[in-house]
Amino acid sequence: MIRRRGTLFVVSAPSGAGKTTLCREVRLRVPDLAYSVSATTRAPRGGEQDGVDFHFLSEERFQDLRDRGEFAEWATVHGRFYGTLAKPLEAMLHEGRDVLLDIDTQGAAQLRRWYPEAVLVFIVAPSMAELEQRLRERRSDAEDDMTRRLRRAREEVALWRRYDYLVINRDVKAAVDQITAIVLAERCRTVRLSLRFPDLEVPD
């Protein structure tokens, strides 16, 4: 019998790199891959559901949870709070479930300290020009917001070597294939497994 603690997969990317789409497709493809729903103080976008895409909280509620130590990580991104609730995350990992987290570079750095065994994946667009084009095609940001997002994107891309894997999102299917391969390979790593046969002594 093989026993294992769940593995935490942390995916980060600048705005416009396609992180949300890729994570959604990987979750559809990989069996038994749990998703940790982040909390945020930003308003829902079209079609987003509370408790499914995010836990949408008021700033007062978020700050209360933060002050009580309820977050495994939290950060301010583009003027809004984002965070990962600690108890449900730890419960899933303890049960042996692999968990996918879609968070920014600040949150990823915090989680690396708490979960040094976590697997960090960074996603980038093929170029900054294409990233800007993708952001403009959203038509959801004012020019000042666009400038801030692009400046933040350059800062985040500079951190890519802090991650275990780099995926360049030229094509969605190819990028999903790569992230899926990362998850499946990490599940087979011997350092994550405890092997037991009833009729054989197998050292850890």
| Tens-place pLDDT, residues 54-100 | 999 999 999 999 999 999 999 888 789 999 999 999 999 999 999 99
Q: Which of 45, 52, 56, 60 is nearest to 83 (CA)?
A: 56
In this prediction, residue 195 has a pLDDT band, given cuts at 50, 70 and 90, of low
For 99, phi then psi, to 5°, come to: -125, 130
H helices present in 75-142, as ranges: 86-94, 105-114, 128-138
Mean pLDDT of 24-30: 95
Of the listed ranges 22-36, 100-114, 182-196, the one predicted with least confidence: 182-196
d(CA 88, CA 72): 10
**Domain architecture of the chain: domains with CATH:** 2-36+96-195 (3.40.50.300)
The predicted structure's pLDDT at residue 133:
83
Helical axes 172-187 vs 19-29, angle rounded to 10°: 50
d(CA 116, CA 127): 30
Check residues 14 and 1 and name the one with the higher pLDDT: 14
Mean pLDDT of 145-160: 86
The predicted structure's pLDDT at residue 2:
60
Q: Is the pTM of this model over 0.75?
A: yes
